[in-house]
Structure formats: structure tokens, C-alpha cells
Structure 1
Amino acid sequence: MKEEKSTYFQELAEHQQPHYLWIGCSDSRVPAEKLTNLEPGELFVHRNVANQVIHTDFNCLSVVQYAVDVLNIEHIIICGHTNCGGIHAAMNDKDLGLINNWLLHIRDIWFKHGHLLGNLSPERRADMLTKLNVAEQVYNLGRTSIVKNAWKNGKKLSLHGWVYDVNDGFLVDQGVVATSRETLEISYRNAISRLLKLNEEEMLKKAHEQEEE
């Protein structure tokens, strides 16, 4: 880098100008900068197990507040991923120690949307829970005082929900996009409706396959 631009590190040391905040999973297979093809200084990053936005997590909220109020970031991306260890651990409900308290938030999502998950295979259930988790975390983020105040004050701020498929390397926009409190509610409801429709289609397909057998 330095050979291509002699002032690269000097400029990087002086300031950062990220346009995006990435809230993703701690999983080592999900490198935010590589997935987004962004350079150092262009992406502000926060990571935790299963990309959670919890209203009592002051670590995450401090990052969001700094990103929105100080760095004036206009886009926040919450990105889940397939084969997520946190999702699988929450589904298995084994005693893993302290992290079980963190995973309870994912289990709450499972219980909330049990009608979407109960009849699926374990693999499909994990994928569906991953997508539901992203939708729920975007909704949680939009309900924080930080984001609500930003929208109230007319700040341009968009929330996005993505899922990274570790099996093929594709980033998939889940269609959960919010630019205001009103669009947050609409986008969240539409996302859940789409997942419900997808679940119904899979159940019908499975039923037809069983009939043919």
C-alpha cells in the first residue's frame, strides 16, 4: 500500500471517515472488510456472538452512538451468517456456561416465531432462525434511543439487514431496510411475512414429495 501511495499511512493515522457501521458476528469466517471490499478507515465495526443488538449492552450501544453522533455514519448494517455457532448453540440449549445468558436472546426469538420453525429440518431451522435474528436485531436497533433521536432530528440514517452465506460467499440483502420509525415497522412486518410465506412454500413442497413417495 505504501509503495502505491506514500502518504497512505500518514493520512490513515490522522483521521478515519467510515461511511458504514457493521454489526456482525464474532465468527472468524466473516471478515467484514473483505466481504464489503472496503479499505481501512472506511468501515466502522462491532462484533459479538450472533450479531446481537441488546438494549442493555452498553458496549454495542456506545459503538452505535459514536458512529451516529460523532462519525455521522449514514448506514448501519447488521449481518448474520449461515452455520452460525451462536444460532446452533441456542437451538441445542446445552450448558455452555456464561454464554448461555447471551444466547437466551436468540432463544426468545425462537419461541416468538415457533410457528415458522417447528416443522423444519434442523438445518433449515437454523437458516430460518438466522434470518429471523437479523430482522429482529434491525428492529431492536431502530428502537434504540440513539437511532430514534437521529431520525427525530432529521439525520439521514439507514438500517440494513444482511445474511452472509459461508457456503458460497454471497451476501444476501434480507430486505429489512429502515430510514424512519414508520419504515422500520413496515419493513419488519414485511420481512416476517416473507419468511412465513417461504416457510409455507417449503412445507407444501415437502408434503408433495412425501405424497409422491
Structure 2
Amino acid sequence: MEQQKYSKLFENNKKWVEEKLNIDPQYFENHAKGQSPKYLYIGCADSRLPVNEMTGTSSGELFIHRNVANMVVHTDNNLMSVLQYAVQVLKVEHVVVCGHYGCGGVAAALENKSLGLIDSWLMNIKESYQKNRNFVDSAETKEAKVNRLVESNVKEQVYNLYKTSYVQEGIKSHDLQIHGWVYDLKEGLLKDLEINAEKDFKEMTLYTFN
């Protein structure tokens, strides 16, 4: 039974190829020539987030990086490499950090439990919590508390983006814009948190992670 489930993925792949070629015989040939996305999307690794579907974008329109709880951590060489490539080489016009309500990583960060290797990663979210504790703790329910931290965490990660030389250089060179979003799993809607990090950091001298 498990092997059948696994094999189904390849069957689905073949059907997908056939559907694409029926619409456009040069679809894959054209895609293989290169990419020129206008957006870098930094989101959570949660399996319930169909990024292209929920944004109505096609393959090649989004450059995507995902990790637990959509973090921007300066010691994460994977994320920093993606950011550098997206801004300096692909010249993306927008970078989006997108969290989602009910995030398991955020919920775990609020609990005083040892979860193993992921504990060190969750420390980054706990820092977001400490910075926004009054706002988060004033929520009346546990669900609301998690969702408030989801929003606060997105805000902190947008700030972390602004602290990188890649983003600051991108703003100067091609008017790069940074955004913070939250996705509502229950409604399927995206919410722009309208974070104006550029204004918040207006008086900041060049302060970089990299």
C-alpha cells in the first residue's frame, strides 16, 4: 500500500507533463532557458501552504525559500545565499516574509518543552516573543496568543531582512520592496501587515548581518 502511494507521485507527474504539453508544446523547453522572478517568497515549511495557488502565480514567477516558521536568521547560510542570489543576481523587486495563523513552530516556541534538535531553531522565535511579549500575552485565548506571535514574528523577520546589506543595497540599486504577510488557513486569505520597516530604520546607519 505504501509503495502504491509513493508510485502515485510519478504517475501524477506524467499526467501533469501531458497536461502542460497539450496546452503548450514548448512549455518545458521555454522554462529550461532560465528564470526571471519578480518576487522572493520566504515562508513556512508547513505542507498546507500552496504558495503558487494562493498567490495565483505560475511556475517561474516566485523564487521560494521555506523553513520552520518563516525565519530570517543571519547564521542560516541557506537563507542568506538565497537572499543574495535573489537580490543581486535575479534582481527581484519584492521580498515577502509570509507566516500563517496556527503555525506549529510558533506554538511550540510558546511552550516550555524540549523537542530535541529543533529547540535551537525555536530560540529565534522565542526572541520575537520576548520583544513583543505584552502584545502577545494580552490575547484572551491560546489560539489568539499564537496568532499574535505569528504576526509579531513576521514583523521581526522583516526587520531582520532590512538589517542585511543585500536588502539595503537592493533598495538603493533598484528600489527593492520588503513586505510582511500572514496567511489564514481557515479562510485561505492573505493579509498584508503593512510593515514599514524602512521608516522604522530611517535613522539607522548601515547595520548588517553579512
Common fold: TM-score over 0.5: yes
- Give, as a single letter, the amino acid of the residue that structure 1 aligns with 2:94: H
Instruction: List aligned pairs for 1:61-210, cutoff 5 A.
Output: 61-120=80-139, 121-152=141-172, 154-177=173-196, 182-185=198-201
Q: Does the 8 Å contact 1:161/1:177 carry over to 2?
A: no
Closer/same/farther in 2, CA of residues 39 and 116 from structure 1, 3 Å limit = same
Alpha carbons 1:158, 1:177 under 8 Å: kept? no
Q: Give 1:89 shift.
A: 0.4
Q: CA deviation at 1:93?
A: 2.6
SS of aligned partner of 2:195: strand
Contact 1:161 1:175 in 2 (8 A): yes
TM-score normalized with structure 1 length: 0.82
Of the three residues 11, 27, 32, the one matched with 1:8 is 27
Distance 2:152 2:201 in 1: 15
Q: Structure 1 residue 79: deviation in Å?
A: 0.2
* Unmatched tracts of structure 2, length 5 or more: 1-19, 203-210
Distance in structure 1 (CA, Å) of the matches to 2:142 and 2:164: 32
> How far is the alpha carbon of 1:21 from its aligned partner?
0.5
Tell me the SS of whatever aligns to 1:161.
strand
Counterpart AA for 1:87: V
Quick one: percent identity of the two aligned structures?
46
Answer with 132-141 or 30-39: which moved more: 30-39
Deviations along 1:15-57, whole A, 9 cap, x unmatched? 1111111000000011211111111111100000000001111
Corresponding residue to 1:56 among 75, 80, 91? 75
Aligned alpha-carbon RMSD (Å) = 1.3
Query: Where does residue 65 of structure 2 map in the other structure?
Result: 46
Aligned to 2:66, the other structure's residue is in SS state strand
Residues 102-143 of structure 1: CA deviation (Å, up to 9, x unaligned) = 001111111121111223221111010000011110010011
Match of 2:59, as an amino acid?
P
> What residue number does 1:19 align with?
38
Q: State the 1:155 CA deviation.
A: 2.0
Find out whether 1:37 has 2:51 as its counterpart.
Answer: no
Which runs of 5 or more residues in structure 1 are unaligned? 187-213
Q: Counterpart amino acid of 2:170?
A: A
Shift of 1:185: 3.0
SS at match of 1:2: helix
With the length of structure 2 as denominator, give the TM-score of the two structures.
0.83
Show structure 1 runs of 4+ deviating over 4 A. none
Letter in 1 for 2:190: L
Shift of the 151–184 alpha-carbon distance from structure 1 to 2, 3 Å rule, reads: farther
How many residues align? The count is 182
